[in-house]
Structure 1
């Protein structure tokens, strides 16, 4: 699918994977709408030609308004990317007792329900556009994690939420096939995002040493390149692609 002349909406667009994706899409000629929480947008490094919209992905009405803004511009909405996510850790049974059910619900709400919200709301708008010569209207990219397959100690909430994203990918692609919309998911390994910047260098080095090859942390720009590849590859649909350097996570 041609990127230039289209509109794209990216949640979690203020930092990390989302910010790198916003930059790559904008540099490729798309009119990009970066969606994030107000506090995150205040800290964001702004990119020329990108419109920044405040919305909480767990709030259906807020996100609907943001997607409407992206869809009502001069360029047709063709691309949606879910990058918003959180990753607090807690064990089922820890020193403070049983895993906080409110925390579990919050993680699932942001990572899984938030992904569903963008998937459904963007699909509604993309389906209303004119198809290209191959009958294609757009593509939606979700973000899971290798934790969906190899969740570690303390990741029950995170792994469950990302496993849900993997699980919805194929049925969503089948649901939206009649509308000419593809759905894919990226499952990154350990990415050098601002969240990782809070970890000391010694621990970062140990994490990198656990990756078979390349023996380093992934870069947000590599995630963004994979998004562009999925957009460009019209036959890639209903698939979850691991981007992890052949990493398989140990229990801890």
Structure 2
């Protein structure tokens, strides 16, 4: 599917991986709706990228009403929805049992509610709109969904039990969702990032930052958000990519700590 002329939504689009993808898609000729809770950053991006190509919606991905309302507004404004990229997510560091006692159940549920349930919530409602599109290529394609997991889905570290469970769920639903949506001409793939240089890393000391880089096989550095955005664009562009979870991690394999 050609990105140019298409309509996309990007959750978590006001920072990090989402922001890089919004910028890439806009530069490629798409109209992009940013779904995020950071209103200041989202509105600033619209000013920067242009209101003719970019719009911001304050969206809680775990809320059915919030997502449904925003998607309806996107379609009302731009006429269709072709691409949905899910980056919104959180992480809470806590062990199943630690010095402070057992993992707080509320924290565990919160991580799954945003990372897994929120992702599915956007997928199902976006797919409903994509299915209404007329086919846009010879394969009968109507839409593309790109979710985001993490290498923690496969090699979760100590303290990542909730995060790993949520991202493992995203990996697990990729193939069945692709199979279910095939009848509508909607492809589903998942990006599985390793250590990507997002704002989360800015507060780390030089020693910690360098030690993280040293765990990557090659190239021995943190990944760039623009590299994730390029992968997202590739997954949109290549019509034979479907039902795949694509690691982008410099060949890293996470250790227990």
Task: Kindly indicate whether residue 248 of structure 2 is the aligned counterpart of residue 243 of structure 1.
Answer: yes
Q: Distance in 2 between matches of 1:53 and 1:201?
A: 36
User: What TM-score do the two structures reach when normalised by structure 1?
Assistant: 0.97
Q: Distance in 1 between matches of 2:192 and 2:137?
A: 31
Contact 2:80 2:133 in 1 (8 A): yes
The Cα of 1:75 is off from its aligned counterpart by 4.6
Paired residue for 2:30? Answer: 30
Q: Deviations over 1:100-136 (max 9, x none)?
A: 0000000000100010011101000000111123200
SS in 1 for 2:195: coil
Task: Kindly indicate whether residue 132 of structure 2 is the aligned counterpart of residue 128 of structure 1.
Answer: yes
SS in 1 for 2:159: coil
Contact 1:31 1:75 in 2 (8 A): no
Q: Distance in 2 between matches of 1:141 and 1:112?
A: 13
The Cα of 1:187 is off from its aligned counterpart by 0.5
Paired residue for 2:103? Answer: 99
The gaps in structure 1 that reach 5 residues or longer are: none
SS in 1 for 2:112: helix
- Number of residues of Structure 1 aligned to a counterpart in Structure 2: 250
Contact 2:145 2:187 in 1 (8 A): yes
Q: Distance in 1 between matches of 2:178 and 2:18?
A: 22
Paired residue for 1:8? Answer: 8
Q: Which runs of 4+ in 1 moved over 3 A?
A: none
CA-atom RMSD, angstroms? 0.9
Paired residue for 1:143? Answer: 148
Please give the residue correspondences for 1:44-83 in structure 2 after superposition, counting only pairs within 5 Å. Answer: 44=42, 45-46=44-45, 47-48=49-50, 49-83=53-87
Q: Distance in 2 between matches of 1:12 and 1:166?
A: 18
